């Protein structure tokens, strides 16, 4: 058999961080151990019943068995408009300011290819979602990191960016509530972002994947709520987290119409469109009662409280996340992120994601997903306590 070589482009893609983590965990599970996996970000709850029923009914519509409209069903784009005005007070044009995406990840990876040329500069948060790096490489562009530090509430410091990089930058990724840190953004930060983007002609791409998940009575704000946001960028919203529809692969981008048009144009060449029955179920999710979203948020907050309180009781000095379903925990002195992650897997059979997998500034932390039942989170705390790493 002839072995065909991969392209140079594929060879330059960043290594899939979670693939190696999954392989390591699978090996321990295969040995018969009871492993508590807190290392990944796959929602553990089912899609709400009314959304599933909408899909079942819509799948019988023979008109939907044909190719879908290239740029998505009008009814879904109109549902997005209704959703954003109801939830955030943001008015959108369904045809010019909404693009339907094959999952949020696809949109995030596509945007650099839509707007940039080889050699252009992209500002990327560090630590951050690793697939931002994939989009940068696929577009053959250059990445400049924006450190997210605890002392700045895990928000980038625009004043700390060199003048040379500011002038070269053409695109910026942001993500609040944040993966992996659980930090949230303020209106003032988004105002500063818009000023920065205007001054330096930078397109802002705000990844709002965890937009429905905020704690302590605080609802996360949309980037588009800030005045002038649509002038300088877009926001990407996925159904995966809000409605537990991770496997459905549907999301949308909203905002600046020139960016939306570029996304639609690229997708015209890559796809036709998503199965219309899925689009109809997505519209039902947006337009029907949001009680399921409220209940899900309360579930994550309860899990957060159980887990963080438990860790604090055993002497681990950790802070509760303000949003998302992740907790960002400092590792004990004497360990790297990878060493501590390996120790927890080997000795406690608890899986966490080492922070260095999210970038250089993730070193010194591990990420935990609050995506298992409370009794399992309590068991994880118990196992960690038995390692006697912390002073009570």
Residue 2 in domain: no
Residues belonging to the chain: 392
Mean pLDDT across the chain? 96
- Is pLDDT above 70 for 392? no
Considering the domain architecture, whether residues 365 and 378 belong to the same structural domain is answered as yes
Where residue 272 falls among pLDDT bands split at 50, 70, 90? confident
Which residues constitute the domain of residue 339? Answer: 8-46+292-385
**Which of residues 287, 313, 335 is at a domain's end?**
287
Evaluate whether 278 touches 248 at the Cβ level (below 8 Å).
yes
CATH number of the domain within which 314 lies: 3.90.1150.10
The pTM (predicted TM-score) of the whole model is 0.96
CATH number of the domain within which 65 lies: 3.40.640.10
| 35-60 mean pLDDT | 96
Which is it for strands 36-37 and 233-238: parallel, antiparallel or unpaired?
Answer: unpaired
Which is it for strands 326-330 and 365-369: parallel, antiparallel or unpaired?
Answer: antiparallel
Considering the domain architecture, whether residues 164 and 312 belong to the same structural domain is answered as no
Considering the domain architecture, whether residues 172 and 247 belong to the same structural domain is answered as yes
Count structural domains, the chain: 2
Residue 1 in domain: no
**Which of residues 287, 318, 333 is at a domain's end?**
287
Per cent of the chain over pLDDT 90 is: 92
Considering the domain architecture, whether residues 200 and 348 belong to the same structural domain is answered as no
Residue 167 in domain: yes
- Is pLDDT above 70 for 154? yes
Residue 242 in domain: yes
Considering the domain architecture, whether residues 308 and 262 belong to the same structural domain is answered as no
Considering the domain architecture, whether residues 264 and 370 belong to the same structural domain is answered as no
Distance between CA atoms of residues 150 and 329, nearest Å: 11
Per cent of the chain over pLDDT 70 is: 100
Cα-to-chain-centroid distance, residue 21: 18
Evaluate whether 324 touches 175 at the Cβ level (below 8 Å).
no
Considering the domain architecture, whether residues 69 and 149 belong to the same structural domain is answered as yes
How far CA 373 is from CA of 43, 208, 229, 311, in Å, comes to 12, 25, 38, 16
Residue 329 in domain: yes
Residue 392 in domain: no
Considering the domain architecture, whether residues 248 and 181 belong to the same structural domain is answered as yes
Considering the domain architecture, whether residues 246 and 302 belong to the same structural domain is answered as no
- Coil, strand or helix: which one is 382? helix
Distance between CA atoms of residues 195 and 229, nearest Å: 10
Task: Report the pLDDT value the prediction gives residue 141, as an integer from 0 to 100.
Answer: 97
All residues at 6 or more sequence positions from 122 whose CB lies less than 8 Å from its CB, including other chains:
112, 116, 132, 135, 136, 139, 141, 142, 143, 144, 169, 170, 171, 172, 173
Cα-to-chain-centroid distance, residue 49: 24
How far CA 157 is from CA of 85, 117, 192, 270, in Å, comes to 30, 26, 10, 36
Considering the domain architecture, whether residues 56 and 175 belong to the same structural domain is answered as yes
Residue 390 in domain: no
Considering the domain architecture, whether residues 77 and 21 belong to the same structural domain is answered as no
First to last CA, the chain: 61
Task: Report the pLDDT value the prediction gives residue 28, as an integer from 0 to 100.
Answer: 84
Taking 3-state DSSP, the helix, strand and coil percentages for the chain, each rounded to the nearest 5, stand at 50, 15, 40
Considering the domain architecture, whether residues 328 and 185 belong to the same structural domain is answered as no
How far CA 347 is from CA of 33, 98, 164, 210, 385, in Å, comes to 11, 49, 47, 32, 11
Least confident of 19-33, 45-59, 291-305: 19-33
Residue 184 in domain: yes
**Which of residues 271, 287, 303 is at a domain's end?**
287
Task: Report the pLDDT value the prediction gives residue 333, as an integer from 0 to 100.
Answer: 93
């Amino acid at each position: 058999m002839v072995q065909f070589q991969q392209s140079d482009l594929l060879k330059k893609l960043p290594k899939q961080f979670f693939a190696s983590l999954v392989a390591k965990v699978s090996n321990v599970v295969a040995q018969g151990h009871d492993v508590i996996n807190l290392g990944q970000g796959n929602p553990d709850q089912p899609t709400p019943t009314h959304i599933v029923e909408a899909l079942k009914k819509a799948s019988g519509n023979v008109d939907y068995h044909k190719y879908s409209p290239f740029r998505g069903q009008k009814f879904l784009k109109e549902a997005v408009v209704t959703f954003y005005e109801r939830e955030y007070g943001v008015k959108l044009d369904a045809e010019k300011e909404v693009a339907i995406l094959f999952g949020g990840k696809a949109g995030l990876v596509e945007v650099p290819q839509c707007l940039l040329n080889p050699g252009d500069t992209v500002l990327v948060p560090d630590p951050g979602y690793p697939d931002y790096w994939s989009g940068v490489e696929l577009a053959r562009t250059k990445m400049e990191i924006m450190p997210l530090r605890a002392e700045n509430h895990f928000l980038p410091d625009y004043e700390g960016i060199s003048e040379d990089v500011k002038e070269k930058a053409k695109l910026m990724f942001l993500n609040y509530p944040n993966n992996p840190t659980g930090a949230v953004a303020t209106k003032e930060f988004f105002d500063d972002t818009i000023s920065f983007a205007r001054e330096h002609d930078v397109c802002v791409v705000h990844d709002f994947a965890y937009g429905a998940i905020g704690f302590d009575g605080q609802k996360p704000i949309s980037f588009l709520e800030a005045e002038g946001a649509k002038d300088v960028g877009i926001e990407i919203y996925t159904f995966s987290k809000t409605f537990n529809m991770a496997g459905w692969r549907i999301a949308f981008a909203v905002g600046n119409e020139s960016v939306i048009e570029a996304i639609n144009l690229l997708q015209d060449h890559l796809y036709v469109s998503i199965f219309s029955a899925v689009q109809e179920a997505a519209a039902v999710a947006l337009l029907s009662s949001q009680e399921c979203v409220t209940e899900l948020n309360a579930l994550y907050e309860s899990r957060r409280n159980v887990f963080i309180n438990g860790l604090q009781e055993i002497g681990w000095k950790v802070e509760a996340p303000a949003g998302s379903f992740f907790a960002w925990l400092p590792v004990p002195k004497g360990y790297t992120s990878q060493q501590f992650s390996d120790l927890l897997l080997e000795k406690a059979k608890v899986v966490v994601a080492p922070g260095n997998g999210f970038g250089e500034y993730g070193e010194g932390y591990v990420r935990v997903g609050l995506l298992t039942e409370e009794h399992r989170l309590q068991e994880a705390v118990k196992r960690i306590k038995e390692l006697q790493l912390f002073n009570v």
